[in-house]
Amino acid sequence: MRRTHVIGTSHVGAIREGWQTVADRFPDEEMEFFAATRPLFERLHLDDRHRLYLPDAVAARVPQVRNTLMKINGTLSADLHNSDTVLWAGFRWPMQEIGRILADQDIDDIRVAGADRRMSRRAFAAVCRDLAAGFLPDAQWRGWRKPALTVLLMPFRSESALSAPKMEVWNALTARDDGVDTAFEAFFDQMAEVFADHGIAVLRPPAEARRPFGMTRAEYGVGSRGLRGPEHSDEDYVHMNADYGALCLQHYFAGAPEGALGDPMQPQPKIHATGEC
């Protein structure tokens, strides 16, 4: 039995919902969840024993954050050292920056869309590495031996967002999607290498859920739920649903350390969670 602790922001919701749809296929996997809204998650502290918790000083200064964390998880901390692996869901990456480069420039051997500017493949790789390095987590998250740490990147926005304001970059990529997906894959490869140097695995948004112009298929954004259960509004284009979470988990289980895919014919395991998240 491999135990995974899923942590992160509101994007944990899709993983939690997805787990309930695929748990019976993975009897050798045990999941535990600890999540917070992004502003609150960024206030949490990780100590040298891999305990993730809300510092007393923060709880005293902003009492409502304590209540929020308790309502989501039923606890104020997560002991990650008790797990075999940790999956950090909703991890930020430079999606907009890469999209802007692809909208403005061609990339040799990757994207030829008739742009006025051109970047060599080597230069693009260097830019990708520099951007990825800027998203490395703080030192206390690096170099883990156990538990093993994997970051699950934030999903691409839903294609339903194309009619929303400030989507010029993505509309440009939709109009001419030559090589867009290849370029994003090249970025993910570079990010994986940069993070691997610090003992962190990178799980990219699942290819099955993506459009070739760098957005998530609309059906994966329908019926997404928040950390406390209610569905997101129709104008929410960044959170995904249980089907998306299930895809992510299938990829995670296939490649996560210390284990392989479970037998899909085995009975459903018990779901272990730290609370309602």
Query: What angle separates helix 121-133 from helix 180-196, to the nearest 10 degrees?
Result: 50
Which residue carries 């040298």 as its tokens? 48
Asked if 137 and 8 touch (Cβ cutoff 8 Å), the reply is no
Largest CA distance in the chain: 57
Q: How confident is the model at residue 271, as a pLDDT?
A: 27
Q: How confident is the model at residue 265, as a pLDDT?
A: 27
Residue 147 backbone dihedrals phi, psi, to 5 degrees: -70, 155
pLDDT per residue rounded down to tens, the chain (277 residues)? 999 999 999 999 999 999 999 999 999 999 999 999 999 999 999 999 999 999 999 988 888 899 999 999 999 999 999 999 999 999 999 999 999 999 999 999 999 999 999 999 999 999 999 999 999 999 999 999 999 999 999 999 999 999 999 999 999 999 999 999 999 999 999 999 999 999 999 999 999 999 999 999 999 999 999 898 778 888 899 999 999 999 999 999 998 654 332 332 233 232 233 332 2
Asked if 31 and 246 touch (Cβ cutoff 8 Å), the reply is no
Q: How confident is the model at residue 256, as a pLDDT?
A: 65
- How far apart (Å, rounded) are the C-alpha atoms in residues 75 and 53? 9
Asked if 127 and 66 touch (Cβ cutoff 8 Å), the reply is no
The four Cα atoms 141, 202, 29, 148 give a dihedral, to 10 degrees, of -30
Q: How confident is the model at residue 222, as a pLDDT?
A: 96
Q: How confident is the model at residue 232, as a pLDDT?
A: 87
- How far apart (Å, rounded) are the C-alpha atoms in residues 19 and 253? 11
